[in-house]
Amino acid sequence: MGTPRRSAPCPAGESAPGKIPEDARPSRLRLPPRRAIVHVDIDAFFASVEVLLDPTLKGKPVIVGGLPHERGVASTCSYEARTYGVRSGMPLRRCRQLCPGGVFVRGNHRVYQAFSEKFFRILRDYTPDVEEASLDEAYLDLTRCRRLYPSLGAAVRDMKVRVERETGLTVSVGAASNKVLAKLATRKAKPGGLFELAPGAEEEFLRGLPIDALPGIGPKAQVVLRLLNLRTIGDLWGLSRATLHSLFGAGGDEIYLQSRGVDGRALAAAGVPKSVSRETTFLEDLWDERLLLAHLAYLCDRLTLALRREGLYAHVIEVKARYADFRTEARRRLVLSPLRETGRIFPIVRDLFRELWSGSRLALRLVGVKAADLARSRPLSLFEPSAEREERLGRALDEVRAKYGFGSVLTVRERMLGVLYGFEADRGFVLKTASLTK
Ligand SMILES: [Mg+2]
Same domain flag for 191 and 320: no
Instruction: Assess if residue 6 is contained within a domain.
Output: no
Helices (H), 126-178: 152-167
Instruction: Assess if residue 434 is contained within a domain.
Output: no
Rg (CA), the chain: 23
- State the distance from the centre of ligand 1 to the C-alpha of 45, rounded, in angstroms: 5
- State the distance from the centre of ligand 1 to the C-alpha of 403, rounded, in angstroms: 34
In this prediction, residue 424 carries a pLDDT of 57
- State the distance from the centre of ligand 1 to the C-alpha of 82, rounded, in angstroms: 13
Instruction: Assess if residue 437 is contained within a domain.
Output: no
Looking at residue 1, what DSSP letter applies? -
Closest CA to 189 of 373, 43, 380, 379: 43
In this prediction, residue 430 carries a pLDDT of 58
Element (H, E) at 204: helix 202-207
In this prediction, residue 317 carries a pLDDT of 95
Assess contact for 172 and 186: CB atoms under 8 A.
yes
- State the distance from the centre of ligand 1 to the C-alpha of 137, rounded, in angstroms: 6
Instruction: Assess if residue 358 is contained within a domain.
Output: yes
Same domain flag for 183 and 130: yes
Same domain flag for 387 and 331: yes
Assess contact for 349 and 356: CB atoms under 8 A.
no
Q: What is the CATH number of the domain that holds 219?
A: 1.10.150.20
Same domain flag for 293 and 380: yes
Q: What is the CATH number of the domain that holds 339?
A: 3.30.1490.100
Distance CA 197, CA 195 (A): 6
- State the distance from the centre of ligand 1 to the C-alpha of 64, rounded, in angstroms: 13
In this prediction, residue 17 carries a pLDDT of 43
- State the distance from the centre of ligand 1 to the C-alpha of 265, rounded, in angstroms: 21
Distance CA 76, CA 55 (A): 17
Q: What is the CATH number of the domain that holds 46?
A: 3.30.70.270
Same domain flag for 337 and 241: no
Instruction: Assess if residue 115 is contained within a domain.
Output: yes
Distance CA 134, CA 143 (A): 22
In this prediction, residue 32 carries a pLDDT of 52
Assess contact for 48 and 407: CB atoms under 8 A.
no
Same domain flag for 415 and 312: yes
In this prediction, residue 419 carries a pLDDT of 59
Strand partners, 276: 371
Total number of domains constituting the chain? 3
Count how many Cα atoms sit within 13 Å of the Cα of residue 116 in the half-sphere of its side chain: 21
Distance CA 92, CA 63 (A): 9
Instruction: Assess if residue 343 is contained within a domain.
Output: yes
Question: Of 137, 318, 390, 414, which residue is the catalytic one?
Answer: 137
- State the distance from the centre of ligand 1 to the C-alpha of 191, rounded, in angstroms: 10
In this prediction, residue 147 carries a pLDDT of 84
Same domain flag for 156 and 210: no
Q: What is the mean pLDDT of each run of 10 residues along the chain (438 residues)?
A: 40 40 47 81 96 96 92 90 93 94 91 94 93 92 87 93 97 95 96 93 93 87 92 94 90 90 78 83 86 91 89 92 92 87 92 92 93 80 66 85 78 71 58 47
Instruction: Assess if residue 111 is contained within a domain.
Output: yes
- Predicted TM-score (pTM) of this structure: 0.66
- State the distance from the centre of ligand 1 to the C-alpha of 159, rounded, in angstroms: 17
Same domain flag for 372 and 239: no
228, 251, 270 — which closes off a domain?
Answer: 270
270, 305, 320 — which closes off a domain?
Answer: 270
Same domain flag for 39 and 162: yes
Identity at 369, one-letter amino acid code? V
Instruction: Assess if residue 5 is contained within a domain.
Output: no
The answer to whether residue 399 is catalytic is no
Phi, psi of 313 (to 5 degrees): -125, 150
- State the distance from the centre of ligand 1 to the C-alpha of 372, rounded, in angstroms: 21
Looking at residue 258, what DSSP letter applies? H
Same domain flag for 42 and 29: no
Closest CA to 322 of 355, 282, 288: 282
270, 293, 309 — which closes off a domain?
Answer: 270
- State the distance from the centre of ligand 1 to the C-alpha of 434, rounded, in angstroms: 14
Q: Which domain holds residue 262?
A: 14-34+199-270
Same domain flag for 313 and 206: no
Same domain flag for 48 and 155: yes
Count how many Cα atoms sit within 13 Å of the Cα of residue 255 in the half-sphere of its side chain: 30
